[in-house]
Amino acid sequence: EKEAKPSPPRNKYQNARRVLNSAETLNLPGREPQLQELREFFTSHLESQTSGSLYVSGQPGTGKTACLSLLLRAPEFAQRLQRVYINCTSIASVGAVYKKLCTELQLKPAGRTERDHLAAIQRHLRTAKRMLLLVLDEIDQLCTSRQEVLYTIFEWPAMPGARILLVGIANSLDLTDRALMRLNARCELKPRLMHFPPYTKPQIVEIFKSRLAEAEVLDVFPPVTLQLLAAKVSAISGDVRRALDIGRRVVEIAEQQKRAGEKEFNMKALELDGNSAQVEDTLKPVQVSQVAAVLNKVYGASQNLEEDIEAAFPLQQKLMLCSLVLMLRNERNKDISMGRLHEVYRRVCAKRNILALDQAEFAGTVDLVETRGILRIMRKKEPRLNKVVLQWDEEEVHAALSDKQLIASILSDTACLAK
Amino acid sequence: TRLAEGTPRRSIQLSNIVEQRIFNDNEIISTPKRSRSKLADEVVDEDYTPKKSNQKTPTRPRRSSTTKQPSATKLKEQAPLTPSQKLKKIRSGELSPSMEQREQPVDESRKSQLQLAREQLHVSVVPKSLPCREKEFDNIYSFLEGKIQDQCGGCMYVSGVPGTGKTATVTGVIRTLQRLVEKDELPAFDFLEINGMRLTEPRQAYVQIYKQLTGKTVSWEHAHTLLEKRFTTPAPRRVTTVLLVDELDILCNRRQDVVYNLLDWPTKSAARLVVVTIANTMDLPERLLMGKVTSRLGLTRLTFQPYTHKQLQEIVTARLAGSEAFKGEAVQLVARKVAAVSGDARRALDICRRATEVADTADAQPGGIKCVTMLHVQQALAEMIASAKVQAIKNCSRLEQIFLQAVAAEVTRTGVEETTFMGVYTQIETIAAFMGVALPAPGRALHLCSKLGAERLIISEHSRHDLYQKILLNVSADDIHYALRVESN
């Protein structure tokens, strides 16, 4: 009964926001050499009809899965290869990967045990008509203490009569050296390595341009803003998901500001001449200041929470942090237990004529500060013996508390430390 | 074991008897399992052996498959169910769980002003619009509205200390959006909700999500495959799904596969899934999650700051809404005390409720109207932000007090927090000699020690280490002196 309504007209911001989503795409600018290398690997093995294994590594968000799923869909391999993609995080246990592979290959194992499934796969590999391309994503999930499964899988290319192309994807560069050392003993078993480097600044700019051009909203982002954004992201992580996220945040904020402006405009128009207020669709491109604001917010992380915190940092938490800083500054022993911190805190409170919390409440207060990431609590058997470790710099704490008078007066009060 | 054997057998027998009474044998509906049990019954009826029934007890709960039973509609008309049929109905979602009803709720008009205020102040009464959270509301609203209009997926991470209105705000946003959908101003969307604390195991999340989508309960492996299929294969009439994940940190196990999957599905273009995750810790993604999970979680984050005393005051007065039950300064005192410690709105509301209870039991004021004043609030605060330790020390026996004094004295003497029983006992000897009381024997003193340890006034080891066991003070030395000095005066 529900009909597809014609969607309301969308402005360019909304189009840009939609096109900057971090879902998978079809064209991958900035990954041409890697795609070419993968293609060559596949075709050379296809032509010689030999098995091979490949290990692809790279930071999160560098386009590993995107490249391989593009190739898995490529028509040039569709005829000659049987393609299977398995994400190793979606299997029930490490041993269950065989069962999953059996279902993907539509095999009929003799029994229901893991070994039966393995036997079925090995029989299939020996007698298969087509070559198999097996892509295992997030392969580090298969690591166990004895690495039985990983070794079994990576030894399939060496099985007599098998024609399998095996691709493993993971984050760490040296997984095969760390976890699969024994494969190095035989040259033919050694997987070929391929690393996806983090995206550089021009590559990120290129990605943004191609995405924006897709929806014809290139004019929303002036080149300067793109340069700034790309430079910042590539300097820190080179993760394209982050870059797209930031781009989307920028658009969202620009849209919100525009909407707020529109409201004002409407109000004015209403006051001026009745109701015939015509809103023309003039969209300003995003500005450098907006991008910079988003970048600061994202990459300032904990440090620039000050403006928020200032208003709402509870007093007892401030006193607790100040006591901790006082103890760290004046004692050589950095091993501070909850009990000792509480003693000092009580004295600090007594000096300031503030009703101190008792130990149970105090432990809760320390927990709440821990959720801000300022502290770390090493749990012990007794709450009194918990160790409190400061995770921030003293300067950061000062900045976050933004209560110079209180801190200064407490830090000068070394008498509270002594018994 | 006898009990375990007994129960299933009895129920099976009973149900058989009931069925034989009500139906003729041929009328009993024969699902594959039932027919087998009927056969077994025919053999067994003469001399029943418990062993057979034992085999019949299901060791694992059987899950319903998604294929529909052909006799499902027919079953509905038959009133008596065998336990397995009932379970099957529950798992397929045909029976909705109901609770017993009370006869009559109390009449509204007979409630006093204080009672009404107490009901309004209950934490479970979520107001229609949350005061002091307008900015956060707008933020989440524009995120979700944009995602629903764009028809694409995404994630958001909401954090903040407990009691700052995170879940209430998010569900409020969802309710507003659902109202817009009803008015046809927004494309329709599904809303699913899971809470990490309500799951026995992280993977049960799949079961819950699938249950909310279809109403059926299946095993987690099955649910996971079905969800994977749903979210990875494109379907033309797919509507956006909003998934709210509360208590995200509970879902993180070592492999983090559940969190990974929940955050990986939105990146699939077919899924149209929007995930909103809630947790307490501000830096959870960096602290606990793997790099690839953090990368998928994205940077759309929002932090709820603790309430300030002004905001807490506004929240409480908004709840009371013109009622005269509270004095203004009483609310202010609660707000200030709570804001100084945690900024937790639940805490403030609880203390206010306690204050109404205190005022209820107190004598009526000369005016005749019962009203919560500063004194009542003071008493409630003393109860709820209470330090009972001084009281506990005061109520200790004489020898226990001497023991505590001795531990404190030994700590001062050695300068180390950890004392041994031997040193403490020497101190007891001294103090006892000084006070002129009889000295308890070491065995007796050990008994005192373990009693104090059970009360958590001290932390002590097991008493088999007798003289060498270590003793730690769990109260501050000042508390001991304070309690004993005030008493002696």
Taking CB atoms and an 8 Å cutoff, what residues of chain B touch A141? 255, 257
- A310 pLDDT exceeds 80? no
Task: Give the residue-averaged pLDDT of A241-259.
Answer: 87
Nearest to A220 by CA among A188, A253, A187: A253
Quote the strand ranges of B203-352, DSSP E. Answer: 240-246, 273-279, 301-304
- B308 pLDDT exceeds 70? yes
C-beta atoms of A298 and B300 within 8 A: no
What pLDDT, on the 0 to 100 scale, is given for residue B20?
55
pLDDT in tens, B268-289: 888 899 999 999 998 899 888 9
pLDDT in tens, A98-142: 999 999 999 988 888 999 999 999 999 999 888 999 999 999 999
- B24 pLDDT exceeds 90? no
The one-character DSSP state at B132 is T
* Residue-wise burial string across B245-273, b where 16 or more C-beta atoms lie within 10 A, e elsewhere: bbbbbbbbeebbbbbbbbbbbbbbebbbb
The dihedral of CA B359, B360, B366, B371: what is its sign? positive
Taking CB atoms and an 8 Å cutoff, what residues of chain A touch B307? 312
- A160 pLDDT exceeds 60? yes
Structure tokens at B480: 């001991």
Q: What are phi and psi of B251, to 5 degrees?
A: -80, -5
Q: Are A154 and A166 in contact (CB under 8 A)?
A: yes
Distance (Å, whole) CA A146 – CA A168: 18
Between positions 285 and 304 of A, the ones with CB within 8 A of B are 298, 301-302
Confidence of residue A6 (pLDDT cuts 50, 70, 90): very low
Confidence of residue B366 (pLDDT cuts 50, 70, 90): low
- A8 pLDDT exceeds 60? no
| B181 CB-near residues (< 8 Å, 6+ apart) | B187, B188, B189
Distance (Å, whole) CA A353 – CA A73: 72
C-beta atoms of A305 and B261 within 8 A: no
Structure tokens at A54: 């490949």
What pLDDT, on the 0 to 100 scale, is given for residue A328?
92
To which H or E segment does residue A392 belong?
Answer: none
Confidence of residue A277 (pLDDT cuts 50, 70, 90): very low
Structure tokens at A175: 């997984």
Burial of B47 (0-12, 13-18, 19+ CB in 10 A): exposed
- B182 pLDDT exceeds 80? yes
Between positions 341 and 360 of B, the ones with CB within 8 A of A are 341-343
Kindly report the nearest CA distance between residue B296 and chain A, in angstroms: 7
What pLDDT, on the 0 to 100 scale, is given for residue B79?
63
Kindly report the nearest CA distance between residue B123 and chain A, in angstroms: 20
Whose structure tokens read 């009901």?
A: B119
B39 touches A at CB < 8 Å: no
What pLDDT, on the 0 to 100 scale, is given for residue B75?
47
Task: Give the residue-averaged pLDDT of B366-383.
Answer: 81
C-beta atoms of A89 and B260 within 8 A: yes
Structure tokens at A141: 């999930």
Among B77-81, B365-369, B451-455, the range scoring the smallest mean pLDDT is B365-369
Mean pLDDT (chain A) is 86
pLDDT in tens, B242-251: 999 999 999 9
A403 vs A346, A411, B282, B485, CA distance in Å? 20, 12, 22, 37
Between positions 214 and 233 of A, the ones with CB within 8 A of B are none
Nearest to B444 by CA among B399, B395, B396: B399
Rounded to two decimals, the pTM is 0.83
Taking CB atoms and an 8 Å cutoff, what residues of chain B touch A2? 188
Kindly report the nearest CA distance between residue B265 and chain A, in angstroms: 10
* pLDDT > 70 fraction of chain B, expressed in percent and rounded: 81
* pLDDT > 90 fraction of chain A, expressed in percent and rounded: 47
Between positions 70 and 109 of B, the ones with CB within 8 A of A are none
Confidence of residue B368 (pLDDT cuts 50, 70, 90): low
Kindly report the nearest CA distance between residue A60 and chain B, in angstroms: 5
The dihedral of CA B185, B187, B190, B195: what is its sign? negative
What pLDDT, on the 0 to 100 scale, is given for residue B384?
78
To which H or E segment does residue B422 belong?
Answer: helix B421-435
What pLDDT, on the 0 to 100 scale, is given for residue A4?
43
Distance (Å, whole) CA A237 – CA B157: 20
C-beta atoms of B340 and A314 within 8 A: yes
Confidence of residue A92 (pLDDT cuts 50, 70, 90): confident
Quickly count: other Cβ atoms within 10 Å of residue B52's Cβ.
Answer: 13
What pLDDT, on the 0 to 100 scale, is given for residue A105?
92
Distance of CA A374 to the CA centre of its chain: 22
- A403 pLDDT exceeds 50? yes
Structure tokens at A313: 């940092």
Higher pLDDT, A282 or B13: A282
Pick B387's closest partner by Cβ from A24, A241, A358: A358
Distance (Å, whole) CA A214 – CA A222: 16
Pick A314's closest partner by Cβ from B282, B343, B389: B343
Mean pLDDT (chain B) is 83
Kindly report the nearest CA distance between residue A239 and chain B, in angstroms: 8
What pLDDT, on the 0 to 100 scale, is given for residue A255?
85
Taking CB atoms and an 8 Å cutoff, what residues of chain A touch B228? 90
Kindly report the nearest CA distance between residue B299 and chain A, in angstroms: 6
Distance of CA B121 to the CA centre of its chain: 20
Task: Give the residue-averaged pLDDT of A140-165.
Answer: 91
Task: Give the residue-averaged pLDDT of A6-20.
Answer: 75
